[in-house]
Amino acid sequence: MKTEVEPGRAGHPLRSSCADEKLGIFQDDGDVSVGELLALGGAGGFQAACDQYHKGIISGSICQDLCNLHKVEWRTCLSSVPGQQVYSGLWQGKEVTIKCGIEESLNSKAGSDSAPRRELVLFDKPTRGTSIKEFREMTLGFLKANLGDLPSLPALVGQVLLMADFNQDSRVSLAEAKSMWALLQRNEFLLLLSLQEKEHASRLLGYCGDLYVTEGAPHGSWHGAALPPLLRPLLPPALHSALQQWLGPAWPWRAKIAIGLLEFVEELFHGSYGTFYMCETTLANVGYTAKYDFKMADLQQVAPEAAVRRFLQGRHCEHSSDCTYGRDCRAPCDKLMRQCKGDLIQPNLAKVCELLRDYLLPGAPADLHAELGRQLRTCTTLSGLASQVEAHHSLVLSHLKTLLWKKISNTKYS
């Protein structure tokens, strides 16, 4: 590893480039005004990121465009959640999503002690003098702790090192290593890295420090998301459903999106880097492209099995509701031992099928409605420990995909 002198005064930890809910950069001609950015503290956040880049503390594939060439254009704020700075933008002629200052939203959804909190990311690791071998081992240990002890992890470590060496000089500098380590602390970045080969996750395009850029946000299937943030919680469930039916895509397009969502469930189940759980299953996370191919809108709500098990196993409980990770990843409570067990009660597929009942049954073709309803009911009753339903899970999922595909195949919707 190249050794670079790390700036910064002794006793003063280096601040994250996207911390304190600051916006990373601005342009006067963007959709976000300078006044709004200053109100958000955006200018200070941009200065912090670029100061650190110019001092050699951080590095990354988009730092030059971000800090020197000002080619990253910020547009609309996409998040109403405090602590999550998510913006639409334009970079290299493409619509992108820019993310920084993202706290773990799994925590905020389920209470202060219901999911593992990470401290504010500081660029304090690895330290100067760390060898490339030590950084490789450090990264492997982190991935094992978060994804489980999998034989595929050395290959993922290789991907991390290749991404860190963005300038392809066959070396990893201290700034490159610090930036990559900070990024790995972000739950969504870790998921994006693990699911890069999957077609239903957004593609990672670049980073600078712990700020990163992905493909542009997919269209939302939940049309309540277009409402002002303060009004969204006031909508009754019946109106949510009506909005979906009136304003959503035509039913055959919804069927195509649903097939993609079911394929995503398959991808999460025993993939190359382990099993992942969807811990907030809502229509707000169901996105799609211009061709109506499913894209997961927010990977913040997806968690590795190893992380969920580590959090739940042995946790004190009185009821199963005490054994909840995120919003709806729930494990049984052993009332005799008063401890949570590590396996989840409801698999991803059952939760997704509950979602699809509201998404697919309204407006479904008359000759399909009864059979579709029956299969979705069967699917939602999948229960038992998630690790024990693999065969039944696969069969139910296959039948449902086949039913939908037969209806739209050989049409313009396929």
Residues 6+ apart with CB under 8 A from 149: none
Give the rounded distance of the alpha carbon of 7 from its chain centre: 32
> Is 97 found in the same domain as 139?
yes
By percentage, how much of the chain surpasses pLDDT 70?
Answer: 73
pTM over 0.95: no
Compute the average pLDDT of residues 28-54: 52
Whole-angstrom Cα Rg for the chain: 22
Q: How far apart are CA 296 and CA 385, in angstroms?
A: 25
pLDDT tens column, 330-346: 999 999 999 998 888 88
Of 215, 242, 268, which residue is a domain's last? Answer: 215
> Is 211 found in the same domain as 223?
no
- What is the residue-averaged pLDDT of the chain? 79
Three-state DSSP at 197 gives coil
> Total domain count for the chain?
2
Peptide bond into 126 cis (omega under 30): yes
pLDDT at 103 over 50: yes
- Between 189 and 38, residue with greater pLDDT: 189
In the numeric block, the tokens 């009004």 are attached to: 231
Three-state DSSP at 178 gives helix
Q: What does DSSP say about strands 94-100 and 211-215: parallel, antiparallel, or unpaired?
A: antiparallel
Q: Which of 82, 14, 78 is nearest to 49 (CA)?
A: 14
pLDDT tens column, 379-393: 998 876 555 567 778
Q: What does DSSP say about strands 294-296 and 286-288: parallel, antiparallel, or unpaired?
A: antiparallel
Residue ranges making up the domain that contains 322 = 219-408
Report which DSSP code applies to 332: -
Query: Could you tell me the CATH number of the domain that includes residue 324?
Result: 1.10.510
pLDDT at 110 over 70: no
pLDDT at 265: 93
Q: How far apart are CA 180 and CA 203, in angstroms?
A: 17
> Is 252 found in the same domain as 226?
yes
pLDDT at 411: 79
Q: At 193, list the tokens.
A: 């890295």
Compute the average pLDDT of residues 73-93: 83
pLDDT at 12: 30
Helix axes 187-194, 153-164, angle to 10 degrees: 110
3 located within any domain: no
22 located within any domain: no
Count each helix (H run) and each strand (E run) in the chain, helices first.
14, 14
Q: At 77, list the tokens.
A: 């704020």
Of 162, 196, 215, which residue is a domain's last? Answer: 215
Of 215, 236, 264, which residue is a domain's last? Answer: 215
Q: At 238, list the tokens.
A: 């019946």
